[in-house]
């Protein structure tokens, strides 16, 4: 099986300091390890090499990818360019932490080929940032955005977190007001989720975060506010000025091909889903990353619907003709409750529907 195009995800599992809410895989930053890791990434890019395949997107995620030097990022991108067709209009994203970047470094990333920068702002209120155990301040975050813009990035995304303790519609609006005043084209707004086993997984934290109703109100507030500012919701947690939707992330929701490289990375490639162990050393030592198949026949109806329905575009009822009548039966009740819109072809969730999307999807597909 050959693939005409793919997305390449590079996981960079290093953090200077782990955030208390985060359960993604990361290890403390060590200079030599990072160099070994970068070399292992390059070996793996080679291993997946397909000179007839277009690498439409590249995404450096983490962890904290901005702990890589611009040179290291450049090396990896050169290898991708050698092993795949990397077109000029490829979307190449690097996630950054405001504390780890400045104008010079950002300019160097731009020079190395990065054309989209995603900044972990989270909030523009310092008390909220401290609660999240983020090391940066609102001021620093603002500077990271302007530095990126001045360094030549037109496609800048910021992460924002909602459902923080004592967050009010007003304080959320303040954060969003500040961010949308900056040269930002894309915003990811995530609801804080207490992950099992993280430092936040305690009763005292759970007691101070907003309840479901308050959270839902904040979410709707965010959707409405961003819409007014020209950021349209295109996915459960993602908003963009038209034309700046994340092409890479959309590959996930559309069941398109992507190759994940690095410890804990996930792939959907050549008709299989697979993952790599959360083990940094093993990844560095193996000539080629060891993959574990999680699904050898992905993108069946349930999975496809579940992913598609995360997008505002929604699910085309004709995509799985055998399920069409089942879906049609359930549409009226959901439309009546305001959870979905249906235009005769696409089922698309409304913001209220996104909020309860697990249940809406379950209701639709089972």
Partner 1 sequence: MANQKIRNFCIIAHIDHGKSTLADRILEKTETVAVRDMEDQLLDNMDIERERGITIKARAVRLKYTAKDGEEYIFNLIDTPGHVDFNYEVSRSLVACEGAILVVDASQGIEAQTLANTYLAIENDLEVVPVVNKIDLPSADPERVCNEVENVIGIPAMDAPRISAKMGINIDEVLERIVTDIPAPSGDTEKPLKALIFDSYYDSYKGVIIYVRIKEGRVKTGDNIRLMATGAVFTVVEAGFMDADKLVNNGSLEAGEVGYISASIKSIGDTQVGDTVTNNDNPCDEALEGYRKVNPMVFSGIYPADGAKYGDLRDALEKLQLNDASLSFEPETSIALGFGFRCGFLGLLHMEIIQERLEREYNLDLITTAPSVIYKVTLTSGEVQYIDNPTNYPDPALIQTAEEPMVKADILTPSEFVGNIMELCQDRRGIFKDMQYLDDTRVNLHYELPLNEIVYDFFDVLKSRTRGYASFDYEMLGYVPSKLVKLDILLNGDIVDALSFIIHADKAYGRARKIAEKLKENIPRQLFEVPIQAAIGGKVIARETVKAMRKDVLAKCYGGDITRKKKLLEKQKEGKKRMRQLGTVEVPQEAFMSVLKLDS
Binding site for partner 1 (CB under 8 A): 9, 11, 24, 59, 61, 190-191, 193, 212-213, 215-216, 219, 236-237, 251-252, 258, 260, 264-268, 273, 275, 294, 302-303, 306-307, 310, 333, 337, 339, 354-363, 365-366
Residue 25 in 3-state DSSP?
A: coil
**Among residues 151 and 268, whose Cβ is nearest to partner 1?**
268
**Among residues 209 and 284, whose Cβ is nearest to partner 1?**
209
Q: How far is the CB of 102 from partner 1 (least distance, A)?
A: 26
Name all contacts of 324-327 with Cβ < 8 Å and 24+ positions apart: 327/364
Q: How far is the CB of 191 from partner 1 (least distance, A)?
A: 4
- Token pair 């962890």 is found at 63
Q: How far is the CB of 190 from partner 1 (least distance, A)?
A: 5
Number of C-beta neighbours around residue 14 at 10 A: 21
Q: Give residues with Cβ within 8 angstroms of 219, minimum separation 6.
A: 162, 163, 189, 191, 351, 354, 355
Q: Are 26 and 34 in contact (CB under 8 A)?
A: no
**Among residues 144 and 360, whose Cβ is nearest to partner 1?**
360
Q: How far is the CB of 68 from partner 1 (least distance, A)?
A: 16
Extended strands (E) in 205-319: 232-235, 238-240, 258-261, 266-269, 272-276, 291-295, 315-316
**Among residues 179 and 191, whose Cβ is nearest to partner 1?**
191
**Among residues 90 and 151, whose Cβ is nearest to partner 1?**
90
- Residue 171: φ, ψ to 5°: -70, -35
Spatial CA neighbour of 98 closest among 65, 130, 75, 120: 120
């Amino acid at each position: 099986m050959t693939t005409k195009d793919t997305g390449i995800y590079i996981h960079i599992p290093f953090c200077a300091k782990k955030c208390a809410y985060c359960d993604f895989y990361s290890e403390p930053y060590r200079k030599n390890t990072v160099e070994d890791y970068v070399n292992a990434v390059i070996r793996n890019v080679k291993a997946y090499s397909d000179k007839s395949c277009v690498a439409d997107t590249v995404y450096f995620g983490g962890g904290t990818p901005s702990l890589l030097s611009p040179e290291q990022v450049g090396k990896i991108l050169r290898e991708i360019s050698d092993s795949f067709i990397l077109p000029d209009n490829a979307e190449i994203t690097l996630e950054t932490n405001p504390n780890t970047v400045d104008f010079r470094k950002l300019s160097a990333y731009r020079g190395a080929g990065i054309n989209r920068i995603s900044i972990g702002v989270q909030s523009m209120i310092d008390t909220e940032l401290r609660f999240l155990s983020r090391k940066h301040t609102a001021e620093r975050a603002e500077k990271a955005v302007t530095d990126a813009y001045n360094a030549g990035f037109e496609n800048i995304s910021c992460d924002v977190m909602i459902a923080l303790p004592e967050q009010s519609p007003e304080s959320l609006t303040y954060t969003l007001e500040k961010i949308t005043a900056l040269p930002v084209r894309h915003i990811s707004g995530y609801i804080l989720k207490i992950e099992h086993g993280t430092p936040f997984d305690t009763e005292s934290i759970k007691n101070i975060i907003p309840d479901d109703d308050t959270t839902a109100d904040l979410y709707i507030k965010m959707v409405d506010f961003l819409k007014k500012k020209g950021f349209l919701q295109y996915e459960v947690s993602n908003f963009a000025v038209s034309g700046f939707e994340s092409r890479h992330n959309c590959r996930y929701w559309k069941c398109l091909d992507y190759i994940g490289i690095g410890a804990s990375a996930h792939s959907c490639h050549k008709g299989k889903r697979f993952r790599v162990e959360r083990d940094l050393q093993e990844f560095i030592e193996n000539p080629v990353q060891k993959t574990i198949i999680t699904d050898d026949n992905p993108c069946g109806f349930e999975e496809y619907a579940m992913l598609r329905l995360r997008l505002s575009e929604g699910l085309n009822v004709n995509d799985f003709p055998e399920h069409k009548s089942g879906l049609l039966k359930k549409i009226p009740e959901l439309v009546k409750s305001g959870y979905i819109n249906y235009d005769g072809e696409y089922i698309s969730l409304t913001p209220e529907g996104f909020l309860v999307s697990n249940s809406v999807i379950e209701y639709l597909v089972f």
